[in-house]
Amino acid sequence: MSRRSAFLQTDRRAEPAGTAGKAVCTLSEVFAATVGDAGAAGFVLSQLPVGKAPILWIQDRLSRRETGRPYLPGLGISRPLLLMEISRPADVLAAAEEGLRCKALSAVVAEIMGDPPALDFTATKRLAFRAEAAGLPCWLIRHGGTTDLSAARDRWRVASLPSLPLADDPGAPGDPRWRVELFRSRSRQPGLWVAHHDRAAHRLDLVPAVPDGAEAAAGRPAGQFAAG
């Protein structure tokens, strides 16, 4: 299987409820390109399994102040989203770990600003083990953080790109796109891609990025690469 086809996500509507995303039921870490870039959150949303079970979304106080609260009508999800705002990063990590013990959830997402002392290798190792034991994906979004030592199984850098044109109105924004880099992984080959989230098909397509940004500028439908 080619690198490109190995990363293309299948249509998750075809997966039985409760089993989608089993391959990523561990801790993944996403670094936003800049503070306030919503691409990291959008990329995480594109990776979450479909279903009816709620998502637990936790923010520390600084993330909430600098990046805002998730805007429910604009998220494009048809399930409950449980929002928690907690002052201290240490309490965010504790809440995420407790959330991973709840079998009624489908995923846990935590946003943390900077490099707080509580976010050390031990804390990430606890989250990774808890997510794998529970069979739930856990995503840690880092705003203004450094890529120091972490037990996250996959580590990404994400930057927003101009969205594709809307089919019914070329002047309006369509499906989102990001420049994504998987710079560390225990199970997949690292690389750099232009990612397109086909929201109607519940599919994330990844096109290898090139230095001059030809893929990003071309605006080609990423679905044409679905067959690998």
Domains and CATH numbers, the chain: 3-14+24-212 (3.40.50.300)
Model confidence at 66, pLDDT cuts 50, 70, 90, reads: confident
Q: What is the pLDDT of residue 60?
A: 94
DSSP state of 68: -
Q: Which of 12-16, 47-51, 84-88, 180-184 has the lowest mean pLDDT?
A: 12-16
Closest among 136, 119, 142 to 30, alpha carbons compared: 142
pTM value > 0.85: no
Strands 55-60 and 107-113: parallel
Rounded to an integer, what distance in angstroms lies between the CA atom of residue 3 and that of residue 151? 24
Residue with tokens 């936003």: 32
Model confidence at 57, pLDDT cuts 50, 70, 90, reads: very high
The DSSP annotation for 175-217 comes to S-EEEEEEEEESSS--EEEEEEEETTTTEEEEEE--TT-HHHH
Q: Which comes out higher in pLDDT, residue 66 or 224?
A: 66
Rounded to an integer, what distance in angstroms lies between the CA atom of residue 107 and that of residue 20? 11
Instruction: Please report the beta strands in 27-175, taking only residues with DSSP state E, as ranges in sequence order.
Output: 27-32, 55-60, 81-86, 107-113, 138-143, 154-161, 165-166, 169-173
Rounded to an integer, what distance in angstroms lies between the CA atom of residue 44 and that of residue 114? 19
